[in-house]
Structure 1
């Protein structure tokens, strides 16, 4: 996760690097098309796992039990996102011959950090009473397993081996289903959390085994993660602002709007879940793939083309949903469909411009990682303001168009920032290290 060297300098413009972190004798990289497909499938497997966990927990639990499970799972989701921002997003920016040490250090830091967080969750579980306390206690016990297993995805991304991440996450999906499906109806939330967490052990073991050829002989060093100015600190603030602003938007809308409006907006955005898989794949696995391009111009051309494709996919998916017959729509969202369908044009426009904005931020993340924070902070707050103002003026449809406007302005600001970046000279090939 940290950049090469103990001081952790910011990543340079992508340049050529060896075929694998272990040198010429290491495993070969897959073709670009294969790598892209494996990256998307891996993100899909990870997202599907999270969705099925909630679906199965809802079917197996009582109403009160699922409420406790959901609260614990929200806490896990926040910790997962924070680890992704602090560790994963900086790991995928790494390149060079020292990737073995980077990956070993990232896994070690994730393990240590999750042990501390797990201990705090266990204490909270002991203090709380009832099913929620038992669920938090179980989460504290399994947190190191689930966070380390998820963190391996970013190591494989940095190593340009997404097919290995896909293998581990596919096993994770199979183990979750195999562990939760046999549970009896009425299973308590503590037991569900424990079973879900322990089901990560086979995938964690497989991931560590697949990572072993790349980290053999490398030494772990977690000190750079604790130093002031570490790049992950900026990404963690971005995550906090983005996640916090979205929760604030929902809370604010719930205060000033009717429950029907909130449900309609939630329902419309739920239908665009497949596009979130594509956007997350671009953020998680894009930087290593962009390392194949030389210089700013080539990187911008690649991300601009990808942004255009994602924008077309977003607009096309919105058109497909808008043309969906009411009978099929009600099977998807039930009674919420009639109100959500009216918001699909605005939500489709939002996801179209989100495709452009995602690729603009990805470009900044690769070429100038420190340039993304200000864009994220300013326009996340503006999106909340536009959402609330849109609802006051035009109801639920206005709120949806307000979100679309905020996403469009963020995309425009990010691409404007990309255009102002000064091209950096290609880094020279590093001299070979002396033989031990």
Structure 2
């Protein structure tokens, strides 16, 4: 098998390891916790997902779009350094929130503050390996992460507090983090870290953060708001349902992380659109298939997965399945625009993500948690439709032009 073929296999296996880690963490937490305990854990995990997405948008996306081979060492060292500094600042804020909140939720947020730099750094390394076209190294670190977190959570006692589970989950990332840094070392040896590009006005990550904030981040924060102002049990039900679609969620995120370097070498707009549309149809079919399989799952088996959270989560499967089916198409439409015309995605994210939040909150007001889940599905469907419409309206390149090259941007994450 060619080196490119081996790299593709390693990328798929790495995403399988990451997917298994995410879903098993939530499955084990649900089985070990009471309904209220898992609700507290879910609120913390939603907050972590928002911070992870912000780091991916601000740091990770700029790393994978870097094409200058001679800069990659400095880019990766700078990315890791900035992630470490920024995660420490966020950790202090989370610790303060945890001290201010009462009960198990406060303790869980405090625990997240203690382990946040570890988990953000470990996850962020995969973007460096993606840019370096060394997915086998990401696979090694993420496989170790999977083994360590499952082993650590599996030995926790039934009824363990949310704070304890968060601490165990976070500390179990240490071996994978150390391995990842060791594997990255040959690529960054001798390169100097420069954090100034991340602080400059016009840094490309600033645009991506806005997109995330009004996209995935806004819906995540809206779900978190349901737990604060409505009931944490709603968060537990929504998070429980989305947990079952964990492999698809990881595939969506990995498409944004690993596809740009590949698509950047595809010649012409038509070829890029064909590739992303095919991928979108595959992801949509997977979403529908997973939803059908889960809906047919007998209740005893479902309780083995999510424990006491299963009844509330299973009622949301039709809506969540529909959402993930259209999310597959929408993710690939936005990926197409990210590669061909990076500036075209911001307005779509702002308008349709805010609509999704409105549908979520309005649906909850009218029909409870069921309405919130269907509101998210409707918002995702409208965003996917608008994104593909925007792709269709992109002007065809002139003869001989390379349409796969993104529009010029300023402030990329590398030393000046």
TM-score range, shorter chain: 0.7 to 0.9
CA contact (8 A) 2:141 2:176 kept: yes
How many residue pairs were aligned? 398
1:226 deviation in Å? Answer: 0.5
SS in 2 for 1:228: coil
In the TM superposition, 1:298-377 aligns within 5 A as: 298-324=271-297, 344-377=317-350
Residues 1:78 and 2:59 aligned together: no
Q: 2-side partners of 1:180 and 1:156: how far apart?
A: 27
Are residues 65 and 419 of structure 1, via their aligned partners in 2, closer, same or farther at CA, if it must alter by over 3 Å?
closer
Match among 148, 167, 178 for residue 205 of structure 1: 178
Corresponding residue of 1:167: 140
Q: Which residue of 2 aligns with 1:231?
A: 204
- Are 1:390 and 1:401, in contact at CA under 8 Å, matched by a contact in 2? yes
- 1:244 aligned onto 2:218: yes
Aligned position for 1:222: 195
Q: TM-score, normalised by structure 2?
A: 0.78
Q: 1:139 to 1:361 in 2, by over 3 A?
A: same
Q: Relative to structure 1, is the Cα distance of residues 56 and 229 closer, same or farther in structure 2, using a 3 angstrom cutoff?
A: same
CA distance, structure 1, for counterparts of residue 89 and residue 34 of structure 2: 31
- Residue 365 of structure 1: CA displacement? 1.4
1:233-272 paired onto structure 2 within 5 Å: 233-242=206-215, 243-248=217-222, 269-272=242-245
1:145 pairs with 2:93: no
User: 1:325-373: CA deviations, max 9, x gaps?
Assistant: 5665566567887787676555444332221111000111112222212
Match in the other structure for 1:109: 82
Q: Judge conservation of contact 1:263–1:336 (CA < 8 Å) in 2.
A: yes
Q: Distance in 2 between matches of 1:185 and 1:392?
A: 35
1:93–1:287: 8 Å Cα contact kept in structure 2? yes
- Once superposed, what is the RMSD of the aligned Cα atoms? 4.0
Closer/same/farther in 2, CA of residues 246 and 172 from structure 1, 3 Å limit: closer
Q: Secondary structure at the match of 1:31?
A: helix
Structure 1 contact 39–281 (Cα < 8 Å) conserved: no
Q: Identify the match of residue 262 of structure 2 among 275, 285, 289.
A: 289
Q: Matches of 2:266 and 2:378 in 1, distance apart? A: 32
Contact map agreement 2:84 2:121 (CA 8 A) in 1: yes
User: Where in structure 2 are the equivalents of 1:414-433 lying within 5 Å?
Assistant: 414-423=387-396, 425-426=401-402
* TM-aligned CA deviation for residue 389 of structure 1: 5.9
- Residue 79 of structure 1: CA displacement? 2.2
Deviations 1:251-281 (A, max 9, x none): 579989x999988766654443332232222
8 Å contact 1:114–1:147 — kept in the other structure?
yes
| Higher mean C-alpha displacement, 132-141 vs 231-240 | 132-141
Do structure 1's residue 42 and structure 2's residue 17 form an aligned pair? no
1:99 to 72, 76, 90: 72
Cα offset for 1:114?
1.9
Alpha-carbon distance in 1 for matches of 2:227, 2:114: 36
CA distance in 2, matches of 1:360, 1:386: 21
**Aligned partners of 2:110, 2:301: CA distance in 1, in Å?**
41
Q: Is the 8 A contact 1:29 1:161 kept in 2?
A: no
Asked whether the equivalents of residues 88 and 154 of structure 1 are also in contact (C-alpha less than 8 Å), the reply is yes
> Is the 1:160–1:289 contact (alpha carbons within 8 Å) kept by the matching residues of 2?
no
Distance 2:378 2:125 in 1: 36
Q: Is the 8 A contact 2:50 2:220 kept in 1?
A: no
Higher helix residue share = 2
Q: Distance in 1 between matches of 2:312 and 2:102?
A: 39
